[in-house]
Structure 1
């Protein structure tokens, strides 16, 4: 249940683009065509699926205070958390270079269409944000970190794919001149953010079942008192009334 909740919350409610507005540069620049948006979105999913678990391992076994205890008791007091940014960025840059080599080898047309924005994934704040959010939310296990990386990448993929499809359609629409270009794109992005955030009511769960507090009545006896439930007390009261009448 925890994996499913994290998966859908990362895609819809905590979407990197619509909730935190990270990665807006590539989101706006590469979303003019669906084909390029699909390529960049797939690359982001791949990079986040690899870097978030790797950075989780770095955080758990190297960077946190006491994480180096596995090397010996003399290293247990070390705290290397100040190196988080450098280590995370180094991991991300390495994976982006790997993605760039793979795309250039197997999809040269996509590589040319993405242009400078493919290597710029290394400095995409959405990629770094995934690792930093993983750290701040204290994700407890490696599989949850992988889940969070994949779902956050899928959230970015859906965002850029949706806006690319809309931008291709609105080319043929009669948009007022002051809103053409980025103006209408920002308006659509805001409306999409509202739509994605509306999933919050579906994923937060229902209200907790109401618990009825049963009052009790103390019945005195010769030696001690007997505590009975509310229903039994009402029955006894009715019997007393019948006897009195």
Structure 2
């Protein structure tokens, strides 16, 4: 049981990383990763929303939508729940952490439509359908691991971008081109962790 949860957690961070493997949440990844402090702040907010939204949407889907044959409302219901949670976080940050609130700017309300957050709430249900042992606890562990994976990707890439600012980059590569090249190299580097997770699952 514990070994399986650890494998799910590590897989969510390393081999099933929502940014570097599934390419979800690219907008904040490219937009908020210029500075380390804003990258960490954004990641904590996204992780919190991922876990809480999974904790709320999973039972609603299983015990409300499925029994009443309303599965087709899944996307709408999930977005409404995520929007309410993001509004809560936005209010808390505005009141207790104004510098972080101002630093995140437009990207904070964009968590509502962040495909990584919506993706985690929907993909855990797909995993549960494919594997009956993938239940509520596994879904929460997967959501938390996905949030940590989001943070790892953001922090690593923030460090890479800060280093790039001091390097002599050819003029035709400056800006978005070198940013995308660096992002692809970071994504490729995570492929090396596949064996570790496969060993745990095996």
User: Under a length normalisation based on structure 2, what TM-score does the superposition of the two structures give?
Assistant: 0.93
Residue of structure 2 equivalent to 1:2: 4
Residue of structure 1 equivalent to 2:71: 81
SS at match of 1:21: coil
1:106 aligns with 2:96: yes
> How big is the shift at 1:141?
2.3
For structure 2, the residue ranges without an aligned partner over 5 or more in a row are: none
Residue of structure 2 equivalent to 1:42: 44
Distance in 1 separating the partners of 2:149 and 2:176: 21
Distance in 2 separating the partners of 1:197 and 1:132: 24
Greater length-normalized contact order (CA 8 Å, ≥ 6 residues apart): 2
Runs of 4+ aligned structure 1 residues displaced above 3 Å come to none
> How big is the shift at 1:115?
0.5
For structure 1, the residue ranges without an aligned partner over 5 or more in a row are: 68-77, 209-245
Give a deviation string over 1:14-41, Cα, whole Å, max 9, x none.
Answer: 0000111111111101111111111101
Residue of structure 1 equivalent to 2:22: 20
SS at match of 1:16: coil
Give a deviation string over 1:157-212, Cα, whole Å, max 9, x none.
Answer: 11111111111111010011111111111111111111112211111128x8xxxx
Distance in 1 separating the partners of 2:168 and 2:182: 15
1:142 aligns with 2:144: no
Residues 26-175 of structure 1: pairs in structure 2 closer than 5 A: 26-64=28-66, 67=67, 78-138=68-128, 140-175=134-169
The worse-fitting range, judged by mean Cα deviation, of 139-148 and 182-191 is 139-148
**Paired residues, what number?**
196
> How big is the shift at 1:143?
1.5
| Higher fraction of helix | 2
SS at match of 2:165: helix
Distance in 2 separating the partners of 1:151 and 1:89: 21
Distance in 1 separating the partners of 2:108 and 2:164: 26
Distance in 2 separating the partners of 1:141 and 1:194: 30
SS at match of 1:204: helix
Distance in 1 separating the partners of 2:161 and 2:146: 23
